[in-house]
Amino acid sequence: MKRTVTQAIEHRRSVRIFKKEDIDSDKVKKCIINGTLAPNSSNLQTWEFYHVTNKTVLDSITKACFNQNAAKTANQIVVFVVRKDLWRKRAKANVDFLNSVFDKKTGRNTEKNRKLALKYYNVAIPTMYTSFFGILGFLRYIFFQIVGIFRPIFREVRLSDIRIVSHKSTALAAQNFMLSMAEIGYDTCPMEGSDTSRIKKILNLPSSAEINMVISCGIRDEKGIYTKRYRIPFEEVYKEIK
């Protein structure tokens, strides 16, 4: 039985021990597809998803995750990878898509809107993402801070800021994935404890790629939930601005 969104959120827990029971790779893949539908910065989609079902590779990743139970008992693992280095390729893909859409010239697809959209990907994105050992990012930061004295302006323009943006986008995809898994009765555990450098080597990733999240997958064992869920009282974290 499929769950509603709220039910999936309530059901999802970080499961540390999974049953020795196979899960359907195709269903997991569909949940990854749901991950790709997550909102992301400028629709650049600077991410990749590595769906690991090979036993040998699973064993290697388990060792890189310090042999923790969540990895050791997992039936499959999905690694969410940040590919900020692919921004040029992804920007071009957006330009090609926009050209195909605006060629139809329907609704809001006017020539003015087309030029604005293309200018964003051909000018604004390269301005934000181009870097020369972080120097351009620092110069952008100084310039934007000065402009910001006189008017509101986007200030997260350093190389480290853009890196954070890509990680936020990929994390949103990971959350989509985990809730989709919970919806169909599969369980997950996002594992912070891992040697990301070793995992990159296992997956043959380039040095420019970054591991955002390693998520183990399976069906929860009753011993896999270590404690009851605890959250800080809502009144402490909720601030209504009237």
Residue 1 scores a pLDDT above 70: no
Dihedrals phi, psi of 215, to nearest 5 degrees: -120, 120
Find the mean pLDDT for residues 144-156.
Answer: 85
Residue 168 scores a pLDDT above 90: yes
What the chain holds in terms of domains, given with CATH numbers, is 5-85+161-237 (3.40.109.10), 86-157 (no CATH)
Q: According to the 3-state scheme, what is the secondary structure of the chain? A: CCCCHHHHHHHCCECCCECCCCCCHHHHHHHHHHHCCCCCHHHCCCEEEEEECCHHHHHHHHHHCCCCHHHHCCCEEEEEEECHHHHHHHHHHHHHHHHHHHCCCCCCCCHHHHHHHHHHHHHHHHHHHCCCCCHHHHHHHHHHHHHCCCCCCCCCCCHHHHHHHHHHHHHHHHHHHHHHHHHCCCEEEEECCCCHHHHHHHCCCCCCCEEEEEEEEECECCCCCCCCCCCCCHHHHCCCCC
The pLDDT score that the predictor gives to residue 106 is 59
pLDDT band at 137 (very low <50, low <70, confident <90, very high): confident
Say which residue, 234 or 156, is predicted with more confidence.
234
Residue 78 scores a pLDDT above 80: yes
- Nearest Cα residue to 76 out of 177, 222, 209, 205: 177
Residue 211 scores a pLDDT above 90: yes
Half-sphere exposure of 88 toward its Cβ, with a 13 Å CA cutoff?
3
Find the mean pLDDT for residues 217-239.
Answer: 96
The pLDDT score that the predictor gives to residue 194 is 96
Say which residue, 168 or 144, is predicted with more confidence.
168
The pLDDT score that the predictor gives to residue 107 is 58
The pLDDT score that the predictor gives to residue 94 is 95
The pLDDT score that the predictor gives to residue 45 is 98
The residue assigned the tokens 């064992």 is 221
Neighbouring residues of 169: CB distance < 8 A, sequence distance ≥ 6: 38, 39, 40, 41, 44, 45, 46, 47
Find the mean pLDDT for residues 78-107.
Answer: 88
Find the mean pLDDT for residues 204-229.
Answer: 96
Cα 234 to the center of its chain, rounded Å: 26
